[in-house]
């Protein structure tokens, strides 16, 4: 009996708002601390309620009658410790105001972390004067955000997570977690990687089935905004509704949680083979709109009535066809070509201005340029800018599985293909 009383006294000391979050968010530092803890609570609740880690990996706090589980920093479970390190890396990106989106994905195949069955997105915005106008959600954020507003939104968000996580189907025992970070490219250095993360090989993720998206909630402060979204399989939600597992109490608690279902007849899933065709059609429209303003590009001559390696046929003055190539497109990759640095700068400025008019943006961190000098000449140092930001100059550029080199030699490409073949053969052995 004495032990039980002692435990209740201890629990009472770690309950309430101040046991988890700061008591004020009026300064930028206080707001940052709150957003960090709110993100940690969200990730911890998701992993706990989905049964990812044992209960011993969490410490307990109480908030508005809810038992909130938070991952321990000194956990003895390697998987939980790794997630804590991921969150520490996210904190670094938050402090620098680089972080835009966190995607926490659940996948079955450890060798394929991009094929997921559930995902949880945390989106962040930064302002100095409170949340700005969000046109997409029709929420006006120029009004002053008080601590009570933040508390109300936070508690509602946690409650919604509780209800949704408990309504989902139990995960298999052999699932794994992956975390992807996306940044604000206009302010993030190209080589920045927070502690615990490395450069991603693939930005996209795809679902095993048709996804259903839930807008769980938004939490504002005078300096930050955090949005939480959940994506799961459509079949899972339909089965829950069929078995009446989403009872009236659950549906009432989910009131205000906006559901957006992906209709197969109105779009494509990530990873779909038709995606590249749709991107090509869209970019072709862009080129059509500015074709009268584009420079000639790079001219090539070809003929189709001779053998491939008969180079002497190009010395003739007849049967040759001349074509100007200004850009190459594949999906959302766009390669622009020009004979001079000045022409290249003009073409990039033209494309960039049109992208902005169509509410698109260039990923400057992933845009690079390669100079191919004429035979016998050396490469001349040059610089190209987009919106005042200098693009990275490279001597070897991988594109669609091939390697383009500054020396116009295929040696690097041949060696790259040999290495790929060797790696594939090694996996078969």
- pLDDT tens, 18-35? 889 999 998 999 999 999
3-class secondary-structure state, position 168: coil
- pLDDT for 203 equals 65
The strand pairing partners of 334, in sequence order, are 329
Q: How far is CA 98 from the centre of its chain?
A: 13
Q: How many CA atoms lie within 13 A of 169 on its CB side?
A: 17
What's the pLDDT band for 136 if we cut at 50, 70, 90? very low
- pLDDT for 141 equals 43
b vs e for 26-56, b when ≥16 Cβ sit within 10 Å of the residue's Cβ?
eeeebbbebbbbbbbbbbbbbbbbbebbeee
What's the pLDDT band for 273 if we cut at 50, 70, 90? low
- pLDDT for 229 equals 92
Q: Mean of the pLDDT values across residues 355-384?
A: 77
Distance CA 83, CA 377 (A): 52
- pLDDT for 350 equals 82
- pLDDT for 246 equals 46
In the chain, which segments carry CATH 3.30.900.10?
A: 2-261
Which of 7-11, 77-81, 289-293 has the highest mean predicted lDDT (pLDDT)?
77-81
What's the pLDDT band for 261 if we cut at 50, 70, 90? very low
Q: How many CB atoms lie within 10 A of CB 351?
A: 21
Q: Which CATH architecture fits 2-261?
A: 2-Layer Sandwich (3.30)
- pLDDT for 277 equals 73
Q: How many CA atoms lie within 13 A of 150 on its CB side?
A: 27
Q: Tell me: pLDDT of 241 over 80.
A: no
Q: Mean of the pLDDT values across residues 254-273?
A: 51
Q: Tell me: pLDDT of 198 over 70.
A: yes
Note the pLDDT tens digit of each residue in 308-347: 667 777 677 677 777 777 777 666 677 888 888 888 888 8
Distance CA 72, CA 221 (A): 26
Which phi and psi angles does 321 have, rounded to 5°?
A: -115, 130
**pLDDT mean across residues, the chain:** 77
Pairing relationship of beta strands 211-220 and 321-325 according to DSSP bridges: unpaired
Tokens of 192: 């920045």
What's the pLDDT band for 1 if we cut at 50, 70, 90? very low
Lowest mean pLDDT among 89-93, 305-309, 340-344: 305-309
């Amino acid at each position: 009996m004495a032990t039980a009383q002692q435990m209740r006294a201890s629990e009472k000391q770690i309950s309430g708002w101040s046991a988890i979050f700061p008591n004020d968010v009026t300064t930028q530092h206080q707001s940052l601390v709150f957003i960090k803890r709110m993100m940690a609570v969200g990730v911890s609740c998701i992993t706990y309620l989905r049964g990812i880690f044992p209960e011993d990996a969490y410490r307990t706090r109480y908030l508005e009658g809810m038992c909130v589980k938070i991952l321990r920093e000194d956990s003895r479970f390697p998987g939980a410790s790794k997630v804590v390190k991921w969150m520490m890396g996210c904190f670094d990106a938050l402090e620098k105001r680089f972080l835009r989106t966190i995607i926490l994905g659940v996948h079955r195949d450890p060798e394929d972390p991009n094929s997921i069955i559930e995902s949880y997105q945390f989106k962040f915005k930064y302002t100095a004067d409170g949340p700005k106008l969000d046109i997409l959600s029709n929420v006006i954020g120029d009004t002053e955000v008080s601590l009570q507003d933040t508390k109300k939104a936070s508690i509602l968000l946690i409650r919604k997570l509780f209800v949704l996580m408990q309504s989902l189907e139990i995960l298999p025992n052999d699932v794994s977690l992956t975390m992807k970070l996306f940044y604000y490219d206009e302010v993030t250095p190209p080589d920045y990687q927070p502690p615990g993360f490395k450069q991603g090989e693939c930005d996209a993720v795809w679902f095993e089935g048709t996804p259903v998206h839930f807008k769980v909630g938004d939490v504002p402060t005078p300096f930050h905004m955090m949005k939480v979204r959940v994506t799961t399989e459509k079949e899972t939600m339909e089965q829950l509704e069929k078995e009446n597992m989403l009872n009236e109490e659950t549906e009432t608690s989910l009131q205000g949680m906006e559901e957006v279902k992906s209709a197969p007849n109105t779009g494509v899933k990530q990873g779909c083979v038709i995606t590249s065709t749709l991107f090509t059609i869209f970019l072709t429209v862009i080129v059509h709109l500015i074709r009268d303003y584009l420079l000639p590009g790079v001219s090539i001559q070809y003929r189709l009535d001779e053998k491939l390696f008969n180079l002497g046929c190009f010395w003739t003055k007849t049967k040759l066809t001349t074509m100007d190539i200004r850009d190459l497109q594949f999906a959302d990759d766009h390669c622009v070509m020009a004979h001079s640095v000045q022409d290249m700068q003009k073409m990039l400025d033209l494309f960039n201005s049109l992208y902005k008019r169509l509410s698109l943006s260039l990923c400057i961190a992933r845009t690079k340029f390669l100079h191919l000098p004429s035979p016998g000449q050396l490469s001349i140092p040059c610089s190209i800018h987009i919106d005042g930001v200098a693009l990275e100059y490279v001597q070897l550029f991988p594109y669609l599985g091939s390697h383009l080199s500054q020396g116009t030699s295929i040696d690097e490409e041949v060696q790259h293909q040999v290495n790929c073949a060797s790696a594939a053969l090694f996996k078969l052995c």
